[in-house]
Structure 1
Amino acid sequence: MSQFIVDSSFWNLFPDAKIGVLLLKDYVNSPESPAAVVQLLEDSIPLAQGHLTEDVFSENEVIQIYRKAYQQFKTKKGARSSIEALLKRSTSNNPVRSINPLVDIYNAASLRYALPVGAEDIDTFVGDLRLTITDGGDEFYLIGDDTNQPTLAGELCYKDEKGAVCRCFNWRDGERTMITDQTKNAFLVIELLDTNRLPALKEALDFIEQHAQDYLQAKTSQFILDVNQPCLDL
């Protein structure tokens, strides 16, 4: 059985971090979300704006925590945490739109709790999945792009034995492991760097888990990893 391993190189940078993981097994996805899930996503947009209390977007604490983190490792120019992009869209004329039930559910959680949430298809992993500082050169194809964009030396990324799964911590997912309508087993991850917000992490995990059970008939298991418990079986 493969594992998810948070490498010591991550804990050296962020020793107090918590990594929330939710495994969904044998779930039933579909190309379109039911009306209730679409409404769940739409209702999350004004709640997201409640986390943006500063007039200057970049000065909000939920943005600053990840921007400061991104200064601790090598990144592509302009790379930002996924939560920053999502929160920015919540205030724009290009709101977050429905994609499919699972993505809508975890985007709703991300917006409500101002935390980055990512998801991958477990069945596409080759060997163990690791969150680690890489030596670089890991194969990576952005969603919808057929040009290899390998990782940089010193970059923090999720990777397996075939290549990178998510670049620059939680910036961009790759096409090889992305969630599709055919996905049956999913790995969801939430990276918490502000330990004062541990209750929000737990609530976000519970939110996704409950709605995945209600709307996807998923068999679920929930974990919170830390420096003392850095891995789990997938």
Structure 2
Amino acid sequence: MQILVTDAFWELFPAARIGLVVARGVDNTGAEGQPAALLAEAIAASAAALEGADMASHPAVAPWRTAYAQFGAKPSKFRSSIESLLRSAQSGRLRSISPLVDLYNSVSLRYQLPCGGEDLAAIAGDLRLTRAAGGEGFRTIGADRDEPPAPGEVIYADDAGAVCRCFNWREA
């Protein structure tokens, strides 16, 4: 399997910077431990720093709203993962999910940039950061119906369909 960024993506975002970490042999079981503690610290720090903040104009959020608008997504409907995390931390709704998710959510909050993760064993073929043709299969975790991306939407896709929609909005 390869992880690819297509020309269609670079044409829209030529100055984008992308970071990637591949972790193998991760034990993502257990509810307690250091990742949960790191997340709790990040939530507390974020909530204090964000008190009374206007999220739409926040320096970590506004560029994502602009990026989403560039590919036709309404930023108030499709919120970037960092905006959703910051809003959840601000309101006290963010909770522990699993050690790995807690770890990357704590990094996202601490550095105010979106981080995400995929189980590479579940990827069919190559993983591509690209723009949707439209109609790629996509079903969010726990959903009972398909919600395919719109043509031109920035997605992560594999050979089976969209893995993550609207850049970093929602995962399958």
Q: In 2, are the aligned partners of 1:45 and 1:111 still within 8 Å (CA)?
A: yes
Q: In 2, are the aligned partners of 1:74 and 1:153 still within 8 Å (CA)?
A: no
State the partner residue of 2:19.
20
State the partner residue of 1:168.
166
Please state if 1:88 is matched with 2:87: yes
Deviation at 1:55, TM superposition (A): 3.7
State the partner residue of 2:5.
6
State the partner residue of 1:110.
108
State the partner residue of 1:71.
69
Root-mean-square deviation (CA, aligned residues, Å) is 1.8
Query: Normalising to structure 1: TM-score of the pair?
Result: 0.69
CA distance in 1, matches of 2:148, 2:28: 31
Q: In 1, are the aligned partners of 2:138 and 2:147 still within 8 Å (CA)?
A: yes
Q: In 1, are the aligned partners of 2:55 and 2:83 still within 8 Å (CA)?
A: no
Deviation at 1:17, TM superposition (A): 1.1
CA distance in 2, matches of 1:4, 1:142: 21
Same amino acid, percent of matched pairs: 43
Q: In 1, are the aligned partners of 2:47 and 2:91 still within 8 Å (CA)?
A: no
Structure-to-structure mapping, 1:1-234, within 5 angstroms: 2-34=1-33, 36-49=34-47, 52=50, 55-75=53-73, 78-94=77-93, 96-174=94-172
Between Structure 1 and Structure 2, the one with more strand by share is 1
State the partner residue of 1:212.
none
CA distance in 1, matches of 2:61, 2:160: 32
CA distance in 2, matches of 1:129, 1:83: 22
**2:2 maps to amino acid:** Q
**1:59 maps to amino acid:** S
1:113-170 Cα shifts (integer Å, max 9, x gaps): 0011111110111111101111111001111012111121111100011100001110
- The one of the two structures with greater contact order (alpha-carbon pairs below 8 A, sep at least 6) is 1
1:71 to 1:123, Cα distance in 2 relative to 1, 3 A: same
Q: In 1, are the aligned partners of 2:50 and 2:90 still within 8 Å (CA)?
A: no
Q: In 2, are the aligned partners of 1:165 and 1:173 still within 8 Å (CA)?
A: yes
Q: In 2, are the aligned partners of 1:156 and 1:169 still within 8 Å (CA)?
A: yes
Q: In 2, are the aligned partners of 1:140 and 1:148 still within 8 Å (CA)?
A: yes
1:22 to 1:133, Cα distance in 2 relative to 1, 3 A: same
CA distance in 1, matches of 2:90, 2:5: 33
| Partner SS state of residue 157, structure 1 | strand
CA distance in 2, matches of 1:14, 1:40: 32
1:171 to 1:113, Cα distance in 2 relative to 1, 3 A: same
Aligned length: 171
